[in-house]
Amino acid sequence: MPFRMRLAIAALGATAALGSWWAGSARAGDPVARAEKQEQIRRGAQLWPSVCGGCHNARGAAERSAAEWDVVVQHMRVRANLPGEDARAILEYLKRR
């Protein structure tokens, strides 16, 4: 087998192994990502009634679609000077509720 072909096969093998490792890492990271998302939603649930209710009655999640909440929360973030982290938590909560 020519050297170049062996080199190409070795490179392909290394790429496959690396890809497999990366995919495995990503899968292993899923529970962490899920836990972080859950924590974000929990924080959003805490903030939603108090932060939104600071000026007006907090509106129900079912009033708008997930896509609409994207826009509304950005609008309210400007109006209420919400920190980005809090706005994202409230948005996730409203989308998942």
Binding site for another protein (CB under 8 A): 43, 46-47, 50-51, 53-60, 63-68, 70-72, 74-75, 77-86, 95-96
Whole-number Å distance between alpha carbons of 20 and 38? 27
- Least distance from C-beta 53 to another protein, angstroms? 7
- Which is nearer to another protein, 4 or 56 (by Cβ)? 56
Angle at 42 between CA 38 and CA 47, to 5 degrees: 145
- Least distance from C-beta 35 to another protein, angstroms? 16
- Least distance from C-beta 25 to another protein, angstroms? 23
**41 in Cβ contact with 93 (< 8 Å):** yes
Helices 3-47 and 84-96: angle between axes, nearest 10 degrees: 90
- Which is nearer to another protein, 11 or 68 (by Cβ)? 68
